[in-house]
Structure 1
């Protein structure tokens, strides 16, 4: 449980860092604002079209009597929208990071600089970094989609589908959200996707402590935009922790202590 709290601590510390560095906070808002406009349109379209989609997908239920027809289709409409929100939480970060690659890499470097120690640089041209980010994001999204389809199917199980499955969905969202965000700092440290996933699996509870609260917050409209700069900052701090050599000091460092510039 200590890792769970530590992960949440890095999320809070990242937000404090961003709000304490106003220029970098504003710098990090721009890509998220652009992406928000795109996603707002997509989710609005989903909201209006979910009924028609469910009706088209369930022609076998056209002759069902009340209340079974309404119960089936209303449940499916809710599940379709929840599935859309689930994908939006994950893909929002991926798309925002892709749009704002130069912004967030510079922000991540500044976090490393203010925290002291080495400031890694990838040394790759921008087009190469964009290609790697896009390729890795697609690989992650494929994994997320597979989990999403499985969770969507399990959502039909009575009681469990309305209680346990949404919790699992946010855990999956939070885990892969953390992967996307820490990738900014870990790619600068020369780590490929396979190595990053291995690293995160080794501290799964810390990763969930960071990512799940963020995934929950990202569901609230506009919150994702304002949390994004701090999320990148916090993920950089988390990456520093995950890649730090073992300490000889038996006392664990508190992730809640903000180092001053």
Structure 2
């Protein structure tokens, strides 16, 4: 049976051949997930740390009915943002007089300087889109650290607040949300979700909303009535709206 880490790295490398400069997050969780757990995924080197999902938490997934084809129309925007984050990082590293050979990722940077110091440097040396892209990555890194703590403590309110902050940053600083995603996020929150955000690369695709056993049915009903019924898309609802269960990753089954 292949090693999950090696398999994830191979899958991420293979995706480059369709022309997208993607990361390896999807591949890592697909290969290395553990049943009943979320995962903290880090790169360079790839590390997958399981984080148990508290009892009573439910994650609702809802599709925006907009597809963002990474090998098609969405590729340019996706690749441009990746390039912008790399350019922004290089500029801040130079502004802080850090050795570029030792700081070639945002994690490297934030292991050497605090988030506020990195953001202050970005304010001084970056403008426009580059400043916004840098701010998103740095604040998202901090949200991920805090989200792991919130999940381990079972704080749905804390985790939901971080999801909301993440979506706001993805919409305003990384600029990958669209009206349909924003609408789904708003409906879920209004119906009682602790938090909601777009998931994946954005520009289409899905949102994920954190609910509890007490709120999940209300959130599902609200999304069905206010989003899908309004678009006459209830016949194929099961394809677009469901509750996700944290399951194990891909494995080889011998018959």
Mark yes or no: TM-score above 0.5. no
Greater length-normalized contact order (CA 8 Å, ≥ 6 residues apart):
1
Larger radius of gyration: 1
Greater helix fraction, Structure 1 or Structure 2: 1
Greater strand fraction, Structure 1 or Structure 2: 2
Give TM-score, length-normalised by structure 2.
0.29
Give TM-score, length-normalised by structure 1.
0.28
